[in-house]
Amino acid sequence: MSIQARKTKAGKTTYFVRVKSGRELVATKSFSTKREAEAWEREQRHRLQTGRPLPPKSSVSLAVLVELFVAARQGGNPHTVDTDRNNLAALPKALLSRPLASIHAEDVRSHLLAQLHRGKKPSTVARAKTTLSALFTFADEMGLLHQPHPVRTMKKIPELSAPAQRAVSPKDVPSADRLAASLYAVREKRADVADVFEFMSLTGIRWGEARAARVNWLSEVPFPQLVVESSHSDRYEEKAPKTWRGTRTIPLSPRALSIFSLYATGKDRDEYLFTNTLGGQLSGALVRKFPLGFHRHALRHYAASTWLRLGTPVHEVAEYLGDEPRTVLAVYAHVLGEGQRRAHAARLASAEAEDQAGDTWGTPGVQNG
pLDDT on residue 162: 66
For residues 182 and 8, give the distance between their C-alpha atoms in angstroms, rounded to a whole number: 58
Closest of 317, 351, 335, 108 to residue 326, by C-alpha: 317
pLDDT on residue 255: 97
* Sign of the Cα pseudo-torsion (292, 294, 298, 302, in order): negative
Q: Which of 56-60, 69-73, 159-163, 349-353 has the highest mean pLDDT?
A: 69-73
| Packed helices 62-73 and 78-89: angle between N→C axes, nearest 10 degrees | 170
pLDDT on residue 165: 60
Share of the chain above pLDDT 90, in %: 51
| pLDDT over 70 (residue 367) | no
pLDDT on residue 198: 98
pTM score, two decimals? 0.67
Mean pLDDT of 181-209: 97
Where does the pLDDT of residue 131 fall: very low under 50, low under 70, confident under 90, or very high at 90 and above? very high
Where does the pLDDT of residue 343 fall: very low under 50, low under 70, confident under 90, or very high at 90 and above? confident
For residues 335 and 340, give the distance between their C-alpha atoms in angstroms, rounded to a whole number: 9
Q: What backbone phi and psi angles, to 5 degrees, belong to 281? A: -70, 140
Task: Give the mean pLDDT of the chain.
Answer: 87
DSSP string, 36-60: HHHHHHHHHHHHHHHTPPPPPSS--
Burial label, 307 (beta-carbon count in 10 A; 0-12, 13-18, 19+): buried
Q: How far, CA to CA in Å, does 319 sit from each of 57, 147, 211, 301?
A: 56, 45, 21, 14
Closest of 330, 283, 280 to residue 304, by C-alpha: 330
pLDDT on residue 285: 92
Note whether 211 and 238 are within 8 A (CB).
Answer: no
Mean pLDDT of 175-202: 97
pLDDT digits (tens, 9 = 90+) for 277-322: 898 999 999 999 999 999 999 999 999 999 999 999 999 999 999 9
Where does the pLDDT of residue 54 fall: very low under 50, low under 70, confident under 90, or very high at 90 and above? low
Where does the pLDDT of residue 89 fall: very low under 50, low under 70, confident under 90, or very high at 90 and above? very high
* Sign of the Cα pseudo-torsion (172, 177, 178, 179, in order): positive
pLDDT digits (tens, 9 = 90+) for 263-282: 999 999 999 999 998 989 99
Mean pLDDT of 152-179: 83
Cβ within 8 Å of residue 23, ≥6 positions away: none
Where does the pLDDT of residue 368 fall: very low under 50, low under 70, confident under 90, or very high at 90 and above? low
pLDDT on residue 326: 87
| pLDDT over 80 (residue 262) | yes
Where does the pLDDT of residue 360 fall: very low under 50, low under 70, confident under 90, or very high at 90 and above? low
